[in-house]
Amino acid sequence: MKKVLVVGLIAVAALVGCKKSEEGGRAGNDTFRVVVPAMTTDVKQGEVQTVRVSVERGEGFKQGVKLEVKAPTGLQVDPESTMVKPGDKGDVQLTITAAKDAPLGGQKIMVKGTPDQGESAELEFKVTVSAR
């Protein structure tokens, strides 16, 4: 019984930690997904927060993927664009900076992955801006 509970808790923790896009690329194993934080990221006005996004590759997917990030007014994301090469692990650290006068409340940041060939995949994650 304890093993089942532990395995269940690990599975739930894995599901809560990230959110995955629809597949991009082509059919079969020649696909990829963009993975972003599932939980809302909190950042205070004038402060910085770091999050991880990833390119999760299918077994047959051997292409580079250009990640482009679009943030709303008051938030700046660095890098705004980067290339994840075929041999790269796929993890990218994004630095989110909230302006001192960034609008308070929930915001959405869009991440789009475009492969060398095939369909792109995109996904958004939430950021909550609070007063300093």
Q: What is the pLDDT of residues 72-128, one digit of tens each?
A: 999 999 999 999 999 899 999 999 999 999 999 999 999 999 999 889 999 999 999
> Rounded to two decimals, what is the model's pTM?
0.81
Strands 65-70 and 48-57, by their bridges, are unpaired
Q: Does residue 72 have a cis peptide bond before it, meaning omega lies within 30 degrees of 0?
A: no
- What does the radius of gyration of the chain's CA atoms come to, in whole angstroms? 16
CATH of domain 19-130: 2.60.40.10
Q: What is the pLDDT of residues 36-51, one digit of tens each?
A: 999 999 999 999 999 9
How far apart CA 22 and CA 54 sit, in angstroms, is 13
